[in-house]
Amino acid sequence: MKAIYCPKYGPVKNLEIKDVSKPVPKANEVLINVKCSAVNDYDWSMVRGKPNLYRLLFGLFKPKRAIPGMELSGVVESLGEEVTKFQIGDAVYGDISNYGFGSFAEYIAIHENAIVRKPEYLSFEESAALSHAANLAWQGLVDLGKIEDGMNILINGAGGGVGSIGLQIAKTYNCQVTGVDTGDKLEVMKEIGFDHIIDYKKEDFTKGNNTYDLILDAKSTRAPKAYVKVLNPNGRYVTVGGDIGRLLQVVFAQYILRKPVYMLPLDANKDLEQIQGLCKSGKIKPLIDGPYPLEKTPWAIQYFGEGKHKGKVIIAVS
């Protein structure tokens, strides 16, 4: 089978398109013919081995798992003898990061708990775009952010997958939503319905006069105290990713200083049932950048890392 292979840390150009052995599922695993995958921060960091702290997760000197990719949609091709949740031919999708990686390949063997069934009303492209970003947005806004009807919300990093889905979730609560990003993303943000748009290259929202009931941050480039200054009384700041140093500061401010800032501990795939319902009713539609063929994955990871993508970057694997 063909796979994107990362033999060592370094520039994205080091990635190889390689023929590797088709995996055989273990007792509790399913073998999936991967239809689509998606590019994430994990892939950008894993390929480069940066920040260096992440090498404690990926491998100190080279990647422990040479095939990146943590989201997929596809079709079950074979089953381990202990699998009970799926049958051959089932269409499935999910964020597989709790059980392994390797979705930039034509086939993957993964634990049956890593995936859920794909409803017919979602395409393979749409489902691959939902599993990680939609859970981050839902858990950030609803579970940890305690969103309420009519709130004034700001989303930082609003032009990506989390931001575009977060907007749609917030609109089901009749919220006013400000989006922060830059470049070509700004026009797309207007089109999908942000009420206010801030170009971070021209304006620092943490130094403005506007305040917010809830901030959802996918970038986390500032110290926690900067966000606290623009929160309303009883407001909350929730980060779902970004600069590792800033994330550690959020943890310190949350637990030691008792500030209203929170880092989301993602529970993969937990809220997909609710999200599927919103998709079926037309209230959520993922914003897809692509799909791009498997051989363009190195380019797509670089494109994502440079922040040029609009919505979720999707790879059509097979």
- Residue stretches of the chain with pLDDT short of 50: none
Q: How many angstroms separate the Cα of 14 from the Cα of each of 10, 142, 161, 165, 293?
A: 7, 40, 26, 32, 18
pLDDT in the model for residue 127? 98
By C-alpha distance, which of 309, 301, 317 is closest to 40?
A: 301
pLDDT in the model for residue 302? 97
DSSP E strands in the chain: the ranges are 2-5, 16-19, 29-38, 71-79, 91-95, 107-111, 116-117, 152-156, 176-181, 196-199, 212-217, 231-239, 261-263, 288-293, 312-316
pLDDT in the model for residue 56? 83
pLDDT in the model for residue 210? 96
**Which domains, ranges and CATH numbers included, belong to the chain?**
2-131+286-316 (3.90.180.10), 133-263 (3.40.50.720)
Global pTM reads 0.94
pLDDT in the model for residue 243? 86
pLDDT in tens, 32-91: 999 999 999 999 999 999 988 788 888 889 998 899 999 999 999 999 999 999 999 999
pLDDT in the model for residue 54? 80
Residue owning tokens 């695993």: 29
Tell me the HSE value of 154 on the side-chain side, using a 13 A CA sphere: 28
The amino acid at 218 = A
pLDDT in the model for residue 57? 80
